[in-house]
Chain A
Amino acid sequence: MANFYTDNENIKFHLTHPLMEKIVRLKERNFADKENYDFAPIDFEDALDNYDKVLEIIGEITGNIIAENAESVDHDGPLLENNEVKYAKGTQQNYDALVEAGLIGMSLPRQYGGLNFSMVPYVMSAEIVARGDAGFTNIWGLQDCAETIHEFASDEIKNDFLPRFNRDGATAAMDLTEPDAGSDLQAVQLKATYNENAKTWVLNGVKRFITNGDADVSLVLARSEEGTSDARGLSLFVYDRKDNAMIVRRIENKLGIKGSPTCELVFTNAPAKLVGDRKMGLIKYVMSLMNSARLGVGAQSVGIAEAAYREALKYAHEREQFGKAIIQYPAVYELLTNMKAKTDAIRTLLYDTCRYVDIYKSYIFIAEDRSLTSEERNDFKHHQKVADVYTPLLKLFSSEYCNQIAYDSLQIHGGTGFMKDFPIERIYRDARITTIYEGTSQLQVVAAIRGVSNGVYLKSLRDYAKVDVKPELQYLKDSLIKMTDQFAKTIEKVTEMDNTEIFDFHARRLVEMAGNIIIGFLLLLDSNRNDQYKKSAEVFIRLGKTENIQKVSFINNFDLKEIGNYKF
């Protein structure tokens, strides 16, 4: 009778963050729905209690069903039968349980059958599910597509597609990549043609590496403007599986997340509906979808990290060598403590980012009904600006850390961890994809470096420094302020070189420096709210400080000419 929510108080700690009241108020719009829906909250406390209780259901389903099925799902995987995907038995069982519990379309408004939950509890669900089975999180998390339809599609499309999610448990897919368009989505070639007579769009072409490709509802990025070759010729379409005009040509055989079907799709005269405006597909809609998906990978990474840490902790207590449990050896306990600190680190960055996204998204929907006051507009802009540079930072840190943590967890298991007998072997493989999909770590740096050059990170850091902390935490804050000064100087130094290539060369170092300080502050603020995070804050800030010194030393001692050594 495991419950992956109630057994992890860290999640509840973030659920009860002081900003939640603002988030709920924006999302629930004066709790107007309570008159029309008897399951809508009547006030903030009620809404938070709903989040808590629903997360408890998810924790229970994950602990008792999803985690229990993870091994068989990894072993069986999905099958391709008559060009259709058949989920592994466990995957189907997992999904059915979530549908039965009414948990598909959590963030959709109630008028479409959703629960109107804010991003924070939705992302928490993804974290919980990922701890049980990382691969399954993809199938669950693709309900993000519903959110994109809600945000950008016409009423006609919304009324047709959105109610299916909660009511029928519709699954979703986002069909973006193609054989020659991976990181570079501008190169997408799948063709969308408008048929003047039938007044419909049809799709023709191939998509590759599509997660859950055989879904009920697919968002397809396609070239709608003939003769174009860049992003401005791409539009977003929604394809309905009921139209039977797309086949799955193959399912990829992968290293990890084996339960999640990765498909190659062929569209043949497939009818589809245009989402929003033509030519805005990649520029606007997919960018928004990708941002949600990156938050999703962040949640998935935290879930994997939590699972890996727990496996290692348990094993290190049980395994005895040279007459005592291995957790008593410095070489092992240091690893474990760093794993714990890093898990707390990416979790706090996850929910902090999530709160920014939550707030600015709510403003977008409010603005559809009435114009925002100037104060609200400024608040919206601020939150969106921070969310835009925190999201890639989160994706970068969480995915890299979850890989490090999975690596260290397997290391603690020793030879046993290399065998299929313990879950860590699967967790280690599942972790590997997180630094790759939804934009590689290298691409996250390209997005995050804007936060360095436009001063948003530095501004955040200066804002954190204004918060008063308990006297016993002051020394940590002092450290972080020094790190911030050092970061500011290093940016200046690199900027002064006035060389784009050098700036790009040091980009990852600069982004990681920012991340180390931001996370340090977040953990400090967490400790300010609850003592139990003090240890992680101390450990993490020590790690971050050391790492930043290394980076500064590398940058300061780097001669322009040396770049030649690195080139091919």
Chain B
Amino acid sequence: MSFRIVVLAKQVPDTRNVGKDAMKADGTVNRAALPAIYNPEDLNALEMALEIKSKIKDAEVIVLTMGPPRAAEIIRESVYRGADKGYLITDRKFAGSDTLATSYAISLAIKKLAPYHLVISGRQAIDGDTAQVGPQAAEKLGIPQITYAEEFISATDKDITIKRRLERGIEVVKTPLPALLTVHSSAPDCRPRNAKLLMRYKYARTLTELQEETRDYTELFDKRPYLQIDEWTVADLNADVELLGLSGSPTKVKKIENVVLQQKETILLTSADKDIEGLIKELIDSHIIG
């Protein structure tokens, strides 16, 4: 039996370089103005999965992503980097899901991929910064979780040892498998896309995407069946519709405020040791340095 690693990845609006039109008047994210990207820490997660794959015999990496049809791009970007396969969880009924509903849907999808050894996701996504979906999925699957993973140390069929990045240090922990990891941005960056894999998979499409294409892919897909990206809907997951979308999401956004950072007070420091020490301490306390 192969060592199966499931990577959870999300397509997010690129909130790192926001322009003036990043937010709409009603305070929600203007997705049209921001390019859709691979959530950065999910790329760290994919790298950890690929690294484990390279060190463990007979391992495979399967990527799961949930989102609108265009999120199939995440699957392509993953196979360009060495993932073996991917599934897109997509259905209008998922719309409006909060972390609870999302982790419910994702845990059902992971169960469909059983038996698996590892589930790896990024610590959090840059559009919501909740860091909840990974841990909630682990709870629903009833498996142990290691959050803030930074470095893969070793693994066998039965357990895994991971170095965690904590606020004030590091911790090396071992857990039985299957387990879920959430990966921190301090973990190694993801490897680049591989030229041959890119050329091999660039025509990979979901059925939904194929319907939008003007060119005929029939012959190509007959010859190269691996180009088809599978889509899983609510029906495929046998999900309870009540637990999805808005009805399955207890989180209600009450109000959104735009916070504008302003310079309000000025502190004058001299070159005296006391002042410098105080400044350094403040910077460390506020995690700007250290």
Which residues of A line the B interface, CB within 8 A?
38-42, 49-50, 53-54, 57, 60-61, 97, 100-103, 106, 115
The answer for the CA separation of A39 and B195 in the assembled complex, in Å, is 9
How far is the CB of B71 from the nearest CB of chain A, in Å? Answer: 20
The answer for the CA separation of A61 and B202 in the assembled complex, in Å, is 19
User: In the complex, are the beta carbons of B199 and A101 less than 8 A apart?
Assistant: no
User: In the complex, are the beta carbons of A101 and B195 less than 8 A apart?
Assistant: yes
Within 8 Å of chain A (Cβ to Cβ): is B198? yes
Other-chain residue from B195, B200, B220, B224 in contact with A57 (beta carbon distance below 8 A): B195
Other-chain residue from A39, A50, A60 in contact with B192 (beta carbon distance below 8 A): A60
The answer for the CA separation of A49 and B203 in the assembled complex, in Å, is 11
Q: Which residues of A contact B196 (CB under 8 A)?
A: 39, 102, 115
The answer for the CA separation of A58 and B193 in the assembled complex, in Å, is 10
Besides A40-B199, A101-B193, 7 more A-B contacts (Cβ < 8 Å) are A50-B199, A53-B198, A57-B198, A97-B191, A100-B191, A102-B197, A115-B196
Return the chain A residue nearest B224 by Cβ. Answer: A38
Return the chain A residue nearest B80 by Cβ. Answer: A57
Encoded as 1 (CB less than 8 Å from any A CB) or 0, chain B from 194 to 212 comes to 1111111010000000000
Q: Which residues of A contact B224 (CB under 8 A)?
A: 38
The answer for the CA separation of A492 and B220 in the assembled complex, in Å, is 61
Return the chain A residue nearest B14 by Cβ. Answer: A1
- Most chain B CB inside 10 Å of its own CB: which residue of A50, A54, A101: A101
- In the complex, how many residue pairs between chain A and chain B have their CB atoms under 8 Å apart? 45
The answer for the CA separation of A61 and B200 in the assembled complex, in Å, is 20
User: In the complex, are the beta carbons of B192 and A100 less than 8 A apart?
Assistant: yes
- Across the A-B interface, the 6 shortest Cβ-Cβ residue pairs: A39-B199, A101-B192, A39-B200, A102-B195, A102-B194, A39-B196
Q: Which residues of B contact A40 (CB under 8 A)?
A: 199
The answer for the CA separation of A156 and B199 in the assembled complex, in Å, is 29
How far is the CB of A275 from the nearest CB of chain B, in Å? Answer: 27
11 residue pairs of the A-B complex, CB under 8 angstroms, read: A38-B224, A41-B199, A50-B199, A53-B198, A53-B199, A54-B195, A57-B192, A97-B192, A100-B191, A101-B194, A102-B197
User: In the complex, are the beta carbons of B193 and A57 less than 8 A apart?
Assistant: yes
User: In the complex, are the beta carbons of B194 and A100 less than 8 A apart?
Assistant: yes
Q: Which residues of A contact B200 (CB under 8 A)?
A: 38-39
The answer for the CA separation of A42 and B221 in the assembled complex, in Å, is 13
How far is the CB of A84 from the nearest CB of chain B, in Å? Answer: 26
Q: Which residues of B contact A103 (CB under 8 A)?
A: 195
Chain B interface: which size bin?
Answer: 10 to 19
How far is the CB of A462 from the nearest CB of chain B, in Å? Answer: 41
Q: Which residues of A contact B194 (CB under 8 A)?
A: 100-102
Return the chain B residue nearest A55 by Cβ. Answer: B195
How far is the CB of B186 from the nearest CB of chain A, in Å? Answer: 17
Which residues of B line the A interface, CB within 8 A?
191-200, 202, 220, 224
Return the chain B residue nearest A96 by Cβ. Answer: B191
Return the chain A residue nearest B198 by Cβ. Answer: A53
User: In the complex, are the beta carbons of B198 and A54 less than 8 A apart?
Assistant: yes
The answer for the CA separation of A97 and B200 in the assembled complex, in Å, is 19
The answer for the CA separation of A515 and B197 in the assembled complex, in Å, is 42
How far is the CB of A297 from the nearest CB of chain B, in Å? Answer: 24
The answer for the CA separation of A57 and B193 in the assembled complex, in Å, is 7
The answer for the CA separation of A38 and B195 in the assembled complex, in Å, is 12
How far is the CB of B217 from the nearest CB of chain A, in Å? Answer: 11
The answer for the CA separation of A452 and B202 in the assembled complex, in Å, is 47
The answer for the CA separation of A103 and B196 in the assembled complex, in Å, is 9
Q: Which residues of B contact A53 (CB under 8 A)?
A: 198-199, 202
The answer for the CA separation of A97 and B191 in the assembled complex, in Å, is 7
User: In the complex, are the beta carbons of A49 and B202 less than 8 A apart?
Assistant: yes
Return the chain B residue nearest A57 by Cβ. Answer: B193
Q: Which residues of A contact B202 (CB under 8 A)?
A: 49-50, 53
The answer for the CA separation of A38 and B197 in the assembled complex, in Å, is 9
Q: Which residues of B contact A60 (CB under 8 A)?
A: 192-193
Q: Which residues of A contact B191 (CB under 8 A)?
A: 97, 100-101
- Most chain B CB inside 10 Å of its own CB: which residue of A40, A49, A57, A61: A57
How far is the CB of A96 from the nearest CB of chain B, in Å? Answer: 9
Q: Which residues of B contact A57 (CB under 8 A)?
A: 192-193, 195, 198
How far is the CB of B69 from the nearest CB of chain A, in Å? Answer: 21
Q: Which residues of B contact A49 (CB under 8 A)?
A: 202
Q: Which residues of B contact A41 (CB under 8 A)?
A: 199
How far is the CB of A39 from the nearest CB of chain B, in Å? Answer: 4
Q: Which residues of B contact A54 (CB under 8 A)?
A: 195, 198-199
The answer for the CA separation of A323 and B192 in the assembled complex, in Å, is 45
Q: Which residues of B contact A97 (CB under 8 A)?
A: 191-192
How far is the CB of A129 from the nearest CB of chain B, in Å? Answer: 13
Q: Which residues of B contact A115 (CB under 8 A)?
A: 195-196, 199
How far is the CB of A250 from the nearest CB of chain B, in Å? Answer: 34
The answer for the CA separation of A57 and B77 in the assembled complex, in Å, is 12
The answer for the CA separation of A127 and B263 in the assembled complex, in Å, is 44
Q: Which residues of B contact A61 (CB under 8 A)?
A: 192
Return the chain A residue nearest B200 by Cβ. Answer: A39
Return the chain B residue nearest A47 by Cβ. Answer: B199
The answer for the CA separation of A102 and B80 in the assembled complex, in Å, is 11
How far is the CB of B202 from the nearest CB of chain A, in Å? Answer: 7
How far is the CB of B224 from the nearest CB of chain A, in Å? Answer: 6
The answer for the CA separation of A103 and B197 in the assembled complex, in Å, is 12
The answer for the CA separation of A101 and B194 in the assembled complex, in Å, is 4
- Most chain A CB inside 10 Å of its own CB: which residue of B191, B198, B220: B198
- Most chain A CB inside 10 Å of its own CB: which residue of B192, B193, B194, B198: B192
The answer for the CA separation of A101 and B200 in the assembled complex, in Å, is 13
How far is the CB of A35 from the nearest CB of chain B, in Å? Answer: 9
Return the chain A residue nearest B193 by Cβ. Answer: A57
How far is the CB of A214 from the nearest CB of chain B, in Å? Answer: 25
The answer for the CA separation of A49 and B202 in the assembled complex, in Å, is 10
Return the chain A residue nearest B82 by Cβ. Answer: A100
Q: Which residues of B contact A106 (CB under 8 A)?
A: 195
